[in-house]
């Protein structure tokens, strides 16, 4: 026989029997939405002040509610608050405790609102704070990359296409490429925050309320730019959460690409950099190992955030207007996405400034793949040789180098002149690694800061 639990007294008047215990657990969200307590209380305080301004609550009732909510917040922070699955969610738990503490005034707090607009407001308030924290970590990582890049402006390394040596660049230039990704990530997060920063409070269940509420006032109290424009849309959509997860997935995608390069560069096959010991681990069986765990974990967590984005897109795709219980499933993926992206950014921001380059190894790798071939072609073009002919000439020089084991920069003037008579003394300057980098000193080029 199924166990029964007492009905939720906030809405139980219409029901003739208590809720099945399994159903109560299955439908409750308190286990995860209790982390919204601070923002739920903040929204309730603003709503109470607005009700007082509209003469719906007396000054005494307002004072009692504000003090009661402050006491409850203290109880939660001290771990003294008793959460009840029977009360389903954060809103009902706090309202029931408030009524228990201050009496009938607690029951008046919900006038002119619904859990539908309440939770939509809570999530926006919470996510706004999370975005601000993420933006701080993004800025910290960007600054760390700039700091490291400034130290590595003259460190020459191979630039790759298809993971094969392509052209010489500087390590500083590569680090600044990473930073540009993160600058765009910051911009996307800021855009998401701006679109989200409208207050649903006052939309009530779906149609608004008959009470003389002032939505502009509550929006102002809560730091929103304005109230939302349509009550039906206000409570029913979670596109702001989807947009946040999309921006988060891009952040993690960029961090994952960086992670892949860090993993490669720390391998013996590349040996370009040294990672700080505190961001690595060893092996339980192989004493020589130093594993780049942080980049590997970040690379793995990218799939987790991508999955949360897919979850939310799928959650919303078939819902009719307005609010549906499906939307209870928005919080766990949203919470975890925010936690994950914030933690990954923090790990990278702590780690990146302490990466040590190995310039000799980077330079040796740059000389292995005829990285200055394009510069020889450019040299010929400047001498009047059509580019396609120059391309063929350099191809033959590279074939010669492969047969003799010589890089272009190691070939004598006589050796180079066998491929084209326009090659003259001074060509070696154009073929040096430093010459190749400095020749690209324009805005955005690898030699801009070298």
pLDDT tens-place string over residues 396-420:
999 999 999 998 988 999 999 999 9
What pLDDT, in 10s, does the model give residues 13-47?
555 566 677 777 787 888 889 999 999 999 999 99
190 with 339, same domain: the answer is yes
pLDDT at 2: 45
What pLDDT, in 10s, does the model give residues 257-284?
999 999 999 999 999 999 888 888 777 7
Q: Which are the contacts of 288, defined by CB distance < 8 A and separation ≥ 6? A: none
Say what percent of the chain tops pLDDT 90.
Answer: 83
97 with 60, same domain: the answer is yes
78 with 183, same domain: the answer is no
State the virtual CA torsion across 14, 94, 32, 21 in degrees, nearest 10: -40
pLDDT at 278: 87
Tell me if 446 is assigned to some domain. Answer: no
Query: Residue 247 maps to which CATH number?
Result: 1.20.200.10
What pLDDT, in 10s, does the model give residues 140-173?
999 999 999 999 999 999 999 999 999 999 999 9
pLDDT at 165: 93
38-42, 125-129, 220-224, 435-439: range with lowest mean pLDDT = 435-439
- Sign of the Cα pseudo-torsion (410, 412, 417, 419, in order): negative
129 with 241, same domain: the answer is yes
DSSP letter (8 states) at residue 79: T
Q: 83 pLDDT exceeds 50?
A: yes
131 with 68, same domain: the answer is no
CA 385, CA 392: separation in Å to the nearest integer? 11
198 with 339, same domain: the answer is yes
Structure tokens at 25: 């657990």
Please give the backbone phi and psi of residue 420, each rounded to the nearest 5 degrees, phi first.
Answer: -165, 135
pLDDT at 1: 38
213 with 304, same domain: the answer is yes
193 with 295, same domain: the answer is yes
What mean pLDDT value characterizes the chain? 93
Please give the backbone phi and psi of residue 156, each rounded to the nearest 5 degrees, phi first.
Answer: -85, 135
Tell me if 204 is assigned to some domain. Answer: yes
- Catalytic amino acids? 162, 283
Among 363, 391, 422, residue at a domain's last position: 363
Q: 442 pLDDT exceeds 60?
A: yes
CA 290, CA 276: separation in Å to the nearest integer? 10
User: Range of 42's domain?
Assistant: 21-108
Q: Give the pLDDT band (50/70/90) at residue 10.
A: low
Tell me if 449 is assigned to some domain. Answer: no
Query: Residue 97 maps to which CATH number?
Result: 1.10.275.10
pLDDT at 21: 76
Among 312, 340, 363, residue at a domain's last position: 363
Asked if 168 and 156 count as a contact pair (C-beta separation under 8 A), the reply is yes
Tell me if 443 is assigned to some domain. Answer: no
284 with 397, same domain: the answer is no
Per-residue pLDDT, averaged over 343-371, amounts to 95
Among 84, 108, 132, residue at a domain's last position: 108
pLDDT at 287: 67
Q: How many domains does the chain have?
A: 3
């Amino acid at each position: 026989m199924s166990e029964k639990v007492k009905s939720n007294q906030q809405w139980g008047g219409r029901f003739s029997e208590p809720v099945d215990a399994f159903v109560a657990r299955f439908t409750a969200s308190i286990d995860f939405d209790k982390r919204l307590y601070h923002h739920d209380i903040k929204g309730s305080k603003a709503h109470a002040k607005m009700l007082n301004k509209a003469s719906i609550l007396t000054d005494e009732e307002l004072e009692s509610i504000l003090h009661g909510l402050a006491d409850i917040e203290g109880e939660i922070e001290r771990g003294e608050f008793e959460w009840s699955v029977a009360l389903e969610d954060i809103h009902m738990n706090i309202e029931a405790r408030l009524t228990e503490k201050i009496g009938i005034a607690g029951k008046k707090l919900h006038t002119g609102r619904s859990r539908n607009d309440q939770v939509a407001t809570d999530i926006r308030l919470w996510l706004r704070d999370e975005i601000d924290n993420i933006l701080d970590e993004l800025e910290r990582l960007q600054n760390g990359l700039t700091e490291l890049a400034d130290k590595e402006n003259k460190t020459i390394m191979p630039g790759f296409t298809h993971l094969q040596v392509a052209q010489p660049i500087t390590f500083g230039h590569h680090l600044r490429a990473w930073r540009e990704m993160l600058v765009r990530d910051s911009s996307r997060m800021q855009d998401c925050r701006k679109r989200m920063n409208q207050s649903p409070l006052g939309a009530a269940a779906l149609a608004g309320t008959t009470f003389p509420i002032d939505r502009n006032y509550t929006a102002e109290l809560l730091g929103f730019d304005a109230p939302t424009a349509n009550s039906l849309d206000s409570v029913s959509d979670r596109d702001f959460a989807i947009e946040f997860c999309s921006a988060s997935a891009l952040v993690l995608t960029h961090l994952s690409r960086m992670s892949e390069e860090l993993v490669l560069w720390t391998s013996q096959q590349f040996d370009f950099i040294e990672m700080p010991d505190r961001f690595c681990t060893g092996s339980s069986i192989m004493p020589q190992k130093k594993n780049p765990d942080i980049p590997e974990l970040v690379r793995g967590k990218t799939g987790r955030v991508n999955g949360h984005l897919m979850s939310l897109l799928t959650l919303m795709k078939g819902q009719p207007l307005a609010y549906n219980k499906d939307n209870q499933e928005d919080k766990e993926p949203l919470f975890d996405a925010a936690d994950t992206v914030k933690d990954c950014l923090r790990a990278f921001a702590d780690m990146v400034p302490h990466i040590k380059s190995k310039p000799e190894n980077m330079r040796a790798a740059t000389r292995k793949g005829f990285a200055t071939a394009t510069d020889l072609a450019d040299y010929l073009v400047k001498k009047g040789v059509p580019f396609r002919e120059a391309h063929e000439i350099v191809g033959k020089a590279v074939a010669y180098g492969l047969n003799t084991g010589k890089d272009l920069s190691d070939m004598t003037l006589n050796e180079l002149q066998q491929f084209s008579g326009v090659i003259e003394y001074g060509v070696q300057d154009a073929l040096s690694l430093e010459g190749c980098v400095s020749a690209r000193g324009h805005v955005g080029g690898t030699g801009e800061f070298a």
